[in-house]
């Protein structure tokens, strides 16, 4: 075993920044709170992104196994050590192909493939969505909840999260079944009333996909899905903090209302960590201009955000650094039922990120080893 110290001033331990350095022995964190190093760097558990449609010029829906490997490798430049590959609404054949590729990629990674961020399973964002709130999801592939179709897809790869609209016929029964099976159900792309939203959460849904985006609005007499999600203490809200999906005031409002139950996600596309220009998400052409990803109709279509940039963006709004770091580590780990991830404490696996005092990633560690940077394009506000 090789014992090393990270050379940090503080570390995120049990939700707070504990002064002192961190010791790693082999692939395990062994001690925290050691005499602090100079330089102002902080350590945190590796970041976890629960919504990644693509990254670094690779689209998850269209990728081959090597493409998934490239995403895993590129994510580590941004401090991400675990992620959920996300498939948006598409035809049955395309979805089946993508699930097959992902399952094969997962097998190769488990067998010791290219070091990189660990995929945690698959997030199906659709096709059981409201026709009124599709965003950039192709309407021709949208459908009402269909247990048989979902069962067939789940047989092809480990589906750990599903986004659906609770107001659709058969949705509540599907929510209950998935929740009983241990699948995380997220309400989103929904025109739900408050009553629909409550029914979905009561049936077992535990979170919302990109709060406020592609869902019924929050009105003072009709709170819709976002109002119910913010008001219920048993619901985790997911936010895209890229300066485009949410106004700064709305981020602060949501953070205040749902303090301690917020998860930051990117909804990244293949444009993430790349220059502006033309890209695609699941075959839908998109263009990145001024940091925003939009389809041909001008509708936001995922993002070019990286998770480390989301952390900086949130902290720039005056949010507490430790709380923001929890929202990309322990909070998403808990949401997907992975208590082994998102924690930095003695005995934990040494999947870590080291940040400087500007919250820029300086090192990412996987299993106790620093990962060689891959030179991805970064930005403070994507």
Map tokens 């919250």 to a residue: 359
Q: Are 96 and 156 in contact (CB under 8 A)?
A: yes
DSSP string, 306-340: -HHHHHHHHHHTT--HHHHHHTTTHHHHHHTT-TT
Task: Give the residue from 191, 190, 92 showing the smallest Cα distance to 140.
Answer: 92
Higher pLDDT, 2 or 306: 306
pLDDT tier, 382 (very low <50, low <70, confident <90, very high otherwise): very low
Separation of alpha carbons 120 and 106, rounded Å: 9
- Please tell me which residue in 49, 69, 242, 267 is annotated as part of the active site: 267
Rounded Cα distance, 51 and 245, in Å: 14
The domains located in the chain, with CATH, are: 46-340 (3.20.20.140)
Closest by CA position to 145, among listed 176, 185, 172, 182: 172
246-292 pLDDT, tens digit per residue, is 999 999 999 999 999 999 999 999 999 888 999 999 999 999 999 99
Asked if 104 is an active-site residue, the reply is no
pTM of the model: 0.96
Q: Could you report the per-residue pLDDT of 131-183, keeping only the tens digit for each?
A: 999 999 999 999 999 999 999 999 999 999 999 999 999 999 999 999 999 99
Per-residue model confidence as pLDDT tens digits over 1-22:
589 999 999 999 999 999 999 9
372 pLDDT band (50/70/90 cuts)? confident
Distances (CA, A) of 346 to 70, 350, 367: 31, 9, 14
């Amino acid at each position: 075993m090789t014992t090393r110290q990270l050379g940090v001033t503080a570390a995120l331990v049990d939700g707070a920044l504990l002064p002192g350095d961190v010791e790693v022995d082999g692939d395990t964190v062994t001690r925290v709170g050691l005499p602090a190093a100079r330089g102002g760097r902080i350590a945190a558990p590796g970041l976890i992104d629960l919504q990644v449609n693509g990254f670094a010029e690779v689209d998850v829906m269209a990728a081959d196994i090597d493409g998934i490997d490239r995403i895993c490798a590129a994510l580590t430049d941004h401090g991400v050590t675990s992620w959920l590959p996300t498939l948006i609404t598409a035809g049955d054949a395309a979805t089946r192909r993508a699930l097959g590729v992902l399952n094969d990629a997962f097998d190769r990674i488990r067998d010791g493939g290219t070091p990189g961020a660990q995929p945690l399973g698959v997030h199906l964002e659709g096709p059981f969505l409201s026709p009124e709130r599709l965003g950039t999801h192709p309407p021709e592939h949208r459908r009402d909840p269909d247990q048989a179709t979902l069962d067939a897809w789940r047989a092809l790869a480990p589906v750990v999260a599903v986004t659906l609209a609770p107001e659709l016929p058969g949705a509540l029964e599907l929510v209950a079944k998935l929740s009983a099976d241990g699948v995380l159900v997220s309400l989103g792309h929904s025109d739900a009333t408050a009553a629909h939203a409550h029914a979905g959460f009561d049936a077992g849904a535990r979170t919302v996909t990109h709060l406020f985006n592609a869902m019924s609005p929050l009105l003072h007499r009709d709170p819709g899905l976002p109002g119910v999600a913010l008001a219920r203490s048993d619901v985790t809200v997911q936010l895209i903090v890229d300066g485009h999906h949410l106004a700064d005031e709305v981020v602060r409002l949501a953070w205040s209302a749902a303090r301690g139950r917020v998860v930051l996600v990117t909804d990244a596309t293949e444009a993430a960590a790349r220059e502006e220009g033309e890209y695609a998400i699941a075959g839908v052409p998109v263009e990145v201009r001024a940091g925003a990803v939009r389809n041909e109709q001008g509708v936001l279509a995922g993002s070019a955000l990286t998770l480390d940039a989301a952390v900086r963006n949130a902290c720039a709004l005056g949010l507490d650094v430790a709380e923001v770091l929890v929202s990309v580590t322990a909070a998403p780990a808990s949401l997907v039922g992975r208590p082994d991830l998102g924690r930095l404490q003695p005995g934990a696996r040494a999947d870590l990120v080291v940040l400087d005092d500007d919250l820029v990633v300086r090192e990412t560690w996987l299993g106790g080893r620093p990962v060689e940077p891959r030179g991805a394009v970064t930005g403070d506000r994507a």
